[in-house]
Amino acid sequence: MIAPVYGAMLRTSDGVRIDAGHLPGPMGNTGELGIVLAHGFTGSWRSPATRRIAAVLARYGGVLAIDFRGHGRSSGLSTVGDLEVLDLDAAVRHARTAYRRVVTVGFSMGAAVALRHAALYGGVDAVVAVSGPARWYYRGTRPMRQVHWAIEHPAGRLAARLAKRTRIAVGSWDPIPLAPYEAVPMIAPTPLLIVHGDADTFFPLEHPNQLFEAAQHPKELWIERGYGHAESAATPDLIRRIGRWTARTKME
C-alpha cells in the first residue's frame, strides 16, 4: 500500500522550484527523524519505485522526497549531479524546520549528490548512498555509455525529455565538481552508509570500494548479493534495513 503524500514546492538558493512530497511518518516519530529521499538520474519521487521506497522508510521517520531540477515538475535543467546539491540543501533545510534529526538517502545520481552535499554543506545527521558512482565520466558498462549518450547528444537529450520528463542542460561542467570519492573524506564525523549490489549493471564494485576506502570513520559498507541498480531493484527488506539504520544511527 502506498502511503498518502502531502505535496510541497521548495525553492533553492539559485531560484529553482523543487517539487517535493512529504510523508509524515509514524505517530511516535513526531519531530524526531526526517529522511530526505534523493532519486537517480531520470527518476522522480512520483514514480512507483520511489513511492514504494518512501512508504517503507516512512515506518521509521518522516520522509521528504524531491524531484531534482530538470526532473518531473521541478523547474530548471538537470546538471547531472552538480547544482543538484542546491536542490538537496533546500530539502534538508526544509526538513530541519520539522525534524530534530535529518538523514539523506540517495540513489545512483542522488547518492553522489548526497555525498557531495554532506561534504560541502553539512547540516545532516547521517548519509546513505545507494548504488552511487565513485567518480565522474565512467563509461565502463553499457548502461553508462547509454547515459552519456543521453547527456551529450541532442537526440539523447530529446529522448530523455520525451520519455522521462528529464530536461538536461547543454554543455560541459565548468568547473568540474568535486567527485564523490573526493567528497567522502570530508563527511566525517557524520555517519556514512554505502550500499551497493554485486549485480549492479551500471557501476561495478570498484565504485563502492573506492568510496569506502576514501571515507573516514564512522562508515559502513553493505555489498548486497543479487542486488541490481538503484530504486527499481531495491527490495522491501533492503529498504527496511536502511530505515532501521537511519533510525538508530547518530553522530558521535
**Chain segment 31-44, per-residue pLDDT in tens:** 899 999 999 999 99
Specify the pTM. 0.95
Asked if the model's pLDDT at residue 27 lies above 80, the reply is no
The boundaries of the domain holding residue 223 are 6-135+175-247
Residue 13, domain member (yes or no): yes
**Distance between CA atoms of residues 19 and 8, nearest Å:** 6
Residue 161, domain member (yes or no): no
Residue 237, domain member (yes or no): yes
Asked if the model's pLDDT at residue 2 lies above 70, the reply is no
**Distance between CA atoms of residues 107 and 114, nearest Å:** 9
Asked if the model's pLDDT at residue 6 lies above 90, the reply is no
pLDDT band for position 3 (cuts 50, 70, 90): low
The number of beta carbons lying within 10 Å of the beta carbon of residue 164 is 17
Give the pLDDT of residue 7. 81
DSSP run (H or E) holding 31: none
Q: How confident is the prediction for the chain on average, in pLDDT?
A: 94
**Chain segment 46-89, per-residue pLDDT in tens:** 999 999 999 999 999 999 999 999 999 999 999 999 999 999 99
Burial class (CB in 10 A: 0-12, 13-18, 19+), 66: buried
Domain at 44, CATH number: 3.40.50.1820
Residue 142, domain member (yes or no): no
**How many domains does the chain fold into?**
1
Q: Are 106 and 117 in contact (CB under 8 A)?
A: no
**Chain segment 79-126, per-residue pLDDT in tens:** 999 999 999 999 999 999 999 999 999 999 999 999 999 999 999 999
